[in-house]
Chains A and B, each alone.
Chain A
Amino acid sequence: MNKTNGGVNEYVTVTIGTQLFGITIDLVNEIFKPARLTYVPLSHPDIAGVLNLRGRIVTMIDCRRRLGISALAGQRDYMAVGVERDGDHYGLLFDGAGEVLRLAPESLEATPVNLDLHWKKVSKGVFRLETGLLVVLDINVLLDFSRRAAA
């Protein structure tokens, strides 16, 4: 790694259980606490429902399910990361969210090859932090419901 003066990338960190994930901050519109979720029958199982965020209808994605992590019994406390893709608004549900980390792109490491298939697809790489590993999420893959591969 000769490039030492490269810029830093900012990531919004989110958690599921103890696992840290990062989402590029440019993609994040807002972080909010979801309320009054409406379930949409017949929808993809990873879609938690829709809700009204200041007059806008936001489709909520259950990231636990999306990543194949089993649900917590009786979980009530969620945080949502609002992103926009192709004119549609999505909210990604995590256990917690909020911190912004500035990380040098050089230290991003390739996704370990032995990672679970689900994870390998949505991961853009891994940062080694002192507190643990941070998996950078590829939002486009995470929100791609068209291909069966992503399901």
Chain B
Amino acid sequence: MDDLLRDFLTESGESLTIVDGEMVKLEAEPNNKDVLQKIFRLVHTIKGTCGFIGLSRLEKVAHASENVLGKFRDGVLQVTPDAVTLIFESLDCIKAILTGIEQTESEPQGDDSDVIARLERMASGEGGGPAPTAAALEAAFNAAVADEVPTQPVVKEVAPTDDAKPEAAKPTVAALPVAAGKAAEVSVANQSIRVNVDVIEQLIVMVSELVLTRNQLLEMVRHSNDSEFKVPLQRLSNVTAELQESVMKTRMQPIGNAWSKLPRIVRDLGNELGKKIELQMHGAETELDRQVLELIKDPLTHMVRNSADHGLETPAERKAAGKSETGTIILRAFHEGGHILVEIADDGKGLPVEKIKAKALANGIVTEAELARLSEAQVHRFIFHAGLTTAQKVTNVSGRGVGMDVVRSNIELIGGSIDLKSKEGSGTTFTIKIPLTMAIISALIVGVQKMRFAIPQICVMELVRASDSSDTKIERINKTSVLRLRDRLLPLARLSEVLNLPALEGETAPESYIVVAQAAGRTFGIVVDTVFDTGEIVVKPVCSVLKDIALFSGNTILGDGSVIMILDPNGVASAVSGEVATRSAAEDAAASVTASTEQKQSLLLFRAGSQEPKAVLLGAITRLEVVDAQKFERSDGRHVLQYRGSLMPIVTSLVGSLREEGSQPVLVFSEDDQTVGVAVDEILDIVDATLRFELTASGSGIVGTAVVRDRATEVIDISYHVSDVFQHWFTKRTVPALRRHVLLVDDSPFFRTMVAPLLAAAGYDVTEAANAELALKMKDEGKFFDVILSDIQMPGMGGYKFADAIKQDPTWRSTPVIGLAADTDGDELGTFDALTRKFDRDGLLETVRGFIGSQERAA
């Protein structure tokens, strides 16, 4: 049923109830003007709305009643019991028609001329006419409801509930925008009621309690053979489960509810702005917690308005740009990686980069020098700044400069984030990411070392059981676990290790399960001991003292009353990539002190172009694919492959040319959400080798060499090979034109061996020093570095003293010194140029990059 009609029915039902009561009151005190005024207004509203939505029959009856009421009000007619009865009769007639509308969604056929005629006679002062007989009433009623409606009393006390099952409670209690718990006659009004959220919260708590008690009872009965309680308890158990489910559902609403007004808004906007706009909505059924929904409603509406106003061009402009005259706005909602994503995409003109730059400069948000260093995407993000609108004129619709900054802060308020992608000329896509917090998700419950954790089902691709005796087994490369799953090379993370759980003694599981998960653009396996089951869980936010643990996105109470943590797949994904680099380094540190720039690395050996084996860092590869050569396509002079629903560019510089037939192995690399394939001739092996980073200038396409089976093997610099495919590809790992030299000062060999390869992989030359004294000796030897990283706490000369010493000496004074702190919160900056957290890989690299960038600018 149309929302408008539903609202009308609900509202009219309520109004009529009030009118009934007031009429009775009026009959008792015929001169009460207030009551009369109230009745008149209510009937008038019903009449007005009928006319508006084209219910002509209803309108006529209401109009006739209104006339009589108007005469009452003006004092022309006396309020007599007869007159009141006649009004009641017309009200009943209206109700009957409403019932008909509710069932058929259109006005039932029927003749009300009798009632109308009598009302008219009354209005013209001819007295009440014959007092309505029961027969006349029934006739009017039957006429009104036509055949569809069973003859049941017009005034229903409550909507019938079919049975006593808890399902009866299912109609989403808080869901529909319908008012009042009054017993309205129109039963649509009875299908939904407004309930305070606190009541629902309270209900949820009570139900959890009930579940707990139920489980205790079940546990008790299980241990006794007395079966007397078993049957009733089983019934209690089922009812409890259903009750729990129903109560949980009351909080959830499809996101479509927040969208329902958009088609109308877009239509009106189109007319106002003279644009042709098509609005497409996908995933309206995606369920969201109602509180979250309420909070994103306004931002969403605002963004759609923006798309229509700023984003889309006029038909003439579109035609000139070679697009169809009708612009499209697409709304899409879906679950991904434990979040709900909402996209608002338009195929309009995209964000005007130059205009934003000019505006940002004018508003003093950036300086020209900073602007020069910013990527296009970074410039785009300026629109989230306060006071920045690119609309040339302030229209009715938008452009008042209170826009995207408010949208952003509203979204961040509920723990979400917003980002955008835009291409000038072809459109803009905004992506809102809303956390699961408060939402119900489907989760896989896994066990590791007698502890249970929930993994959001949404990121689980498949489950694999691995045991030493079967074909599927976990292989280890220098303590790094990998799994060969079909053609893929799957990096594995042992949950027990990721979570740093103490190993249980004497118990090694003969088999384990691998949850193949996808998150943060990576596919990886999470090794667990057991998999229990799947279930719907209510995500509860973690307590603030636990918020810093990136591996958990929330916690939940299971059916048995215990609390378990919900794993954040994105957190696990970053732990996986960290594992590869850090764990082998830790092994090395324990074994011996290695030469400064040599590290053990896991490498993938392959052949490409020549017979000589080449290698690439295993950690960099996302997947291995063997592709049917027929499937390669050419687009815009490049080789591409249809891969997982999008086009993946294929780099051929290693092999020269692609095979025409047969199959070709492809190494797949991913970064952020870009994916590229590198064609090779043959994949040979995975080995563990000491990697020596080349100290020569880059541009050779080689990261370094590794000794594999006593032979020096070239380790390919993938970023070099894919750079002509993507300008911005692997920006994080882009090797600077001139290699920057980093001095790493830390007394812990463990930390040095962990960080040095990281810096090397980011394209820097690294020199290590075990203490400040050694570092200062290098200064005296005339060495120069671009950045110095120093632990702030070291035996002997401490970090702060070391920084002071550098800053006081003219030789190294201009070299940035970055302090490495265990936790930057409590530490002072001193003479350090910056502090960064020791164990935050990304933060550390970001800081280093920040300084080297600034040096470049100065130069």
Contacts and interface: CB of A to CB of B under 8 A. Distances in A.
B543 A42 contact: no
A91 to B, nearest CB: 11
Contacts of B461: none
A88 B205 contact: no
B277 interface: no
B549 A52 contact: no
A56 B563 CA distance: 10
B208 interface: yes
B508 interface: no
Contact of B545 (A39, A41, A52, A88): A88
A132 to B, nearest CB: 31
B820 to A, nearest CB: 15
Interface stretch (B554-562, B604-612, B842-850): B554-562
A52 B561 contact: yes
Nearest to A44: B545
A89 B562 CA distance: 16
Nearest to B502: A41
Interface string B484-502: 0000000000000001110
B470 interface: no
B300 interface: no
B79 interface: no
A140 to B, nearest CB: 13
A54 B825 contact: no
A145 B212 CA distance: 31
Given A42-B500, A146-B825, A55 B205 contact: yes
Contacts of A86: 544
Interface string B288-326: 000000000000000000000000000000000000000
B451 A55 contact: no
Contacts, number: 76
Given A148-B825, A148-B826, A57 B543 contact: yes
Contacts of A40: 546, 549, 552, 565
Nearest to A38: B563
Interface string A86-130: 101110000000000000000000000000000000000000000
Contacts of B557: 52, 55, 57
B209 interface: yes
B832 to A, nearest CB: 18
B546 A55 contact: no
Contacts of A90: 543
A39 B543 contact: no
Contact of B551 (A42, A56, A88, A149): A42
Most buried by A among B540, B543, B544, B564: B543
Most B C-beta atoms less than 10 A away, residue of A86, A89, A145, A147: A145
**Which secondary structure dominates where chain B touches chain A?**
mixed
A89 B543 contact: yes
B826 A147 contact: yes
B823 A57 contact: no
B16 interface: no
Contacts of B208: 52, 54-55
Contacts of B823: 148
A41 B546 contact: no
Interface in A20-46: 36, 38-44
Contact of B555 (A42, A57, A149): A57
B204 interface: yes
A77 to B, nearest CB: 20
A143 interface: yes
Interface in B460-506: 499-501
Max chain B C-beta neighbours (<10 A), residue from A41, A42, A50, A52: A41
A143 B543 CA distance: 11
Contacts of B543: 50, 57, 59, 88-90
Contact of A57 (B209, B499, B501, B563): B563
A48 to B, nearest CB: 12
A47 B209 CA distance: 25
A43 B546 contact: yes
Contacts of A51: 562-563
A44 B546 CA distance: 8
Contact of B501 (A41, A47, A149): A41
Contact of A41 (B212, B500, B555): B500
A36 B545 CA distance: 20
Given A38-B565, A55-B208, A56-B205, A143 B826 contact: no
Given A52-B563, A90-B543, A145-B545, 4 more contacts: A38-B563, A57-B563, A59-B543, A148-B825
Interface of B: 204-209, 212, 451, 499-501, 540, 543-546, 549, 551-552, 555, 557, 561-565, 823, 825-826
